[in-house]
Amino acid sequence: MPPPVVPHGMILKVMNERNMKGGMGSDTNPLTFMDQDYNLLQDYCLKTRQKFVDEFFPPDVRSIGEGLLTPEVMARVEWIRPTWKGNCWFLASVGALTFQTKLLHKVVPEGQSFRHNYTGLFHFRFWRFGKWYDVVVDDKLPTINRQLIFVKSKTFYEFWPALLEKAYAK
């Protein structure tokens, strides 16, 4: 089957939106996904001294999906917050996303730390239907016997790919 024909006007519209600077949905001003603003949530968690738990993508079966795991396996799932060994996991994982630094910083915004103002809150940006969206997630990851169930790195303390996958799944 041949690929669908995209009208020329639609291509120009997407290109113009992609190139707009600072407008809503641009890479520098992404839309908030599910109205969750990373900065507001981060400030709230810091002020209340609590770790973030995502109410829209909770650490339970609803976020894994029905039928993906058997009930026996699902009963063994434990949602844990990873223990971190600094930011080396992030730097080591940069190559897994892309070799283009500018694009990397569009998808994984800078300034997220596991030591300074750590609240268990992360955000990633995705290009969807001609606009950028900022997606917020907590750091609770599904495990069985303390092993990640889905995406995992060869390095056991590297959680960046799993957090990116969680944001994409959301």
> Per the structure block, which two tokens stand in for 42?
């981060």
Tell me the pairing of strands 121-128 and 131-138. antiparallel
Q: How many residues does the chain have?
A: 170
Which listed residue (40, 75, 88, 103) is catalytic? 88
Write out the DSSP string of 108-162: S-S---SSTT--SEEEEEEEETTEEEEEEEES-EEEETTEESS---SSTT--HHH
> Is 45 one of the catalytic residues?
no
In the DSSP assignment, the letter for residue 35 is: G
Rounded Cα–Cα distance for residues 165 and 159 (Å):
10
> Per the structure block, which two tokens stand in for 75?
């009963």
Rounded Cα–Cα distance for residues 154 and 79 (Å):
20
Tell me the pairing of strands 131-138 and 31-32. parallel
Residues annotated as part of the active site: 88
